[in-house]
Amino acid sequence: MTNASFKRRDGFQGQKLISLPQQLWKSASRLHPEIFQLYITHIGYFPKAEGHFRERKKGCEDNILIYCLHGKGYFTIGKEKHELLPNQFIHIPATAEYQRYGADPQDPWSIYWVHYRGDKIEGFNNSLNITLSNGVQQIPFNEKGIAIWENIYHSLEMGYSMDNLCNASLCLYHFIATFAFPDKHILTEKKESDDMVNQTILNMKANLGGKLTVKEMSEHVKLSSSHFSNLFRKSTGISPIDYFIHLKMQRACQLLYSKDVKIKRIADELGYEDPFYFSRIFKKNMGMSPEQYRLVSSKGD
């Protein structure tokens, strides 16, 4: 059997695929119309999709975004055929135009794709100039877009709770933005001061259970204490010590929310020998005591 001798919509080894019931979104939209102005109808990842083929003689009511990661494929709209290569994408607005697309028989594509729709999809497409004439567009490797896609997929994979649906729909905008404005989402070279701040924060996170002085922090990045403090404050807006305390309080919140542990033990884990002092610091930063925070967090579950 040759590569070109069979065609299939899905069923590829390692694929990910979720199709969401239309009734589900109708119910969600009635409850939260502002959030679900756009919503995902189908989402998938097809790796090395040999034989992949779809034909829609009457077009599709969804917008379709296909991002090719490896291999090759094609997309025909009306009478125009477009080849899709690695790090290229095509974003097709909802249309009644004839559509046909599929993988190259010799070098089948690996693609991330999303179908989405909404009551105001026409206005959305006009705002972002998503048109049939755009064709295939080149993009740098979209690492951020893939990470957002994975977040969306994981949310929907975990079930159709309102939290999961809200997260998926809100992330959809971010996902689309990485293709509409790719230059805003590319990791650029960091300034020397940014590298220093990142190194310092990593050092802080590795020492949440202990104490760090400004002198120790500055020595870690080989700067004088005064120069280090000025650069850090200029970059983050707060002093190194206050930032370190902020990280400790973040960790305390995680422990209070996710673990049934005594306050004293949390204080010990974060380097506070006196639990009462820890509670004062926590309240100063979080606006409530650790006990109150735990109570509020448990009610939110």
Q: Is the pLDDT of residue 189 over 50?
A: no
What was the pLDDT predicted at 2? Answer: 40
pTM of structure: 0.65
pLDDT over 70 for what percent of the chain?
Answer: 94
**Taking the domains of the chain in order of start, what are their residue ranges?**
3-184, 192-299
Is the CATH number 1.10.10.60 carried by domain 192-299? yes
The CATH topology of domain 3-184 is Jelly Rolls (2.60.120)
What was the pLDDT predicted at 147? Answer: 94
pLDDT in tens, 137-182: 999 899 899 999 999 999 999 989 999 999 999 999 999 999 999 9
Lowest mean pLDDT, pick from 4-13, 31-40, 202-211: 4-13
pLDDT in tens, 210-239: 999 999 999 999 999 999 999 898 888 889
Tell me which long-range contacts 171-175 makes (C-beta under 8 A, separation of at least 24). 172/38, 172/39, 172/40, 172/114, 172/116, 173/38, 174/148, 175/114, 175/145, 175/148, 175/149
Average pLDDT over residues 85-100: 95
